[in-house]
Structure 1
Amino acid sequence: MIRDEIKAGLITAMKARDSEKTAALRLIQAAVRYRDIEERTESDATDDDKLVTEVLLKMAKQRRESIDMYEKGGRPELAAKEQSELDVISSFLPKQMSEEEAKTAIAGLIKESGASSIKEMGKVMGLIKERYATQMDMSKAGPMVKALLAQG
């Protein structure tokens, strides 16, 4: 389980006295615990690895946005700190699909759903999120779906 890998990584980082990695892993654990608390109040239970992966994807997206803002704002030291956290977070994420694999999967879902116009984009996005949420960057999937539906 990803949760166990994170815990083992934290122990290793603490023993190695790697303060940056330790801090990043503690942030990850705190976010996962917070999500656990949210999950208790919801009625349907989510698979543990899926829950942790969702948290990691959200954290990675936040770090990428922060890096972009810090670089535009001329703060390379803060961007470097965010990048080191992103590296730690990314090490626990499942392998992401390449752009070509994503396009192939999206084309298959468009065909399966019978979507023919951009008005039906939501139907396709729902299928993508259901089947490929942990393997595909949703912020990149939207423009791909739009482009393929515009072609088709």
Structure 2
Amino acid sequence: MLRDTIKADTITAMKAKDKERTAALRLVQAKIKDRDIELRTSAKDTPDDELVVDVLTKMAKQRRESITMYDDGGRTELADKERYELGVIETYLPTRMDEAETAAAIAAVKADIGADSIKDMGKVMAELKSRHGAQLDMSKASGLVKASFG
């Protein structure tokens, strides 16, 4: 399980006295624990690896946004710290689909559910997320789906 891998890597980083990696992994573990606490009150039963990947995806997105803001504001030391954390987070995420793979997935979903107009975009996006969730950049996929209905 991904959660166990992150815990083991945290211990390895601590033993190696790699303070930056240890701090980044502890951040990841804290976010996962926060999500666990949130889900205690909900009735949803999410598979553990899916939950961890969802947390990591959101953390990666936040880091990318922060990097852009810090670079625009001339705060390179903060941007570098965020880049390092993003690198650590991305090691645990599944590889992303490129544009050609995304377009092929969209075509397959459209064919499978019989989507033929822009009105079906919501159904296509929902099916894409359920099939390829963490592998897709949903914002890019949204633009490609919209364009595919032309």
TM-score band w.r.t. shorter chain:
over 0.9
State the TM-score, normalizing by the size of structure 1.
Answer: 0.95
Give distance in 2, aligned partners of 1:139 and 1:75: 27
| CA RMSD, 1 decimal | 1.0
Aligned to 1:83: 83
Q: Offset of 1:68 from its aligned partner? A: 0.8
Aligned to 1:69: 69
Give the residue type in structure 1 aligned to 2:13: A
- For these two proteins, the number of residue pairs brought into alignment is 150
Runs of 4+ in 1 over 4 A off after TM superposition: none
State the TM-score, normalizing by the size of structure 2.
Answer: 0.96
Aligned to 2:125: 125
Structure 2: tracts of 5 or more residues without a match: none
Aligned to 1:146: 146
Q: Offset of 1:118 from its aligned partner? A: 2.0
Give the residue type in structure 1 aligned to 2:134: T
Q: Offset of 1:40 from its aligned partner? A: 1.4
Q: Offset of 1:32 from its aligned partner? A: 0.3
Q: What SS does the aligned partner of 1:133 have?
A: helix
Give the residue type in structure 2 aligned to 1:107: A
Q: Offset of 1:44 from its aligned partner? A: 2.1
What are the superposed Cα offsets for residues 80-121 of structure 1, whole Å, 9 maximum, x if unpaired? 000000000000111222221111011111122222222221
Q: Offset of 1:138 from its aligned partner? A: 1.1
Aligned to 1:3: 3
| Identical-pair percentage | 59
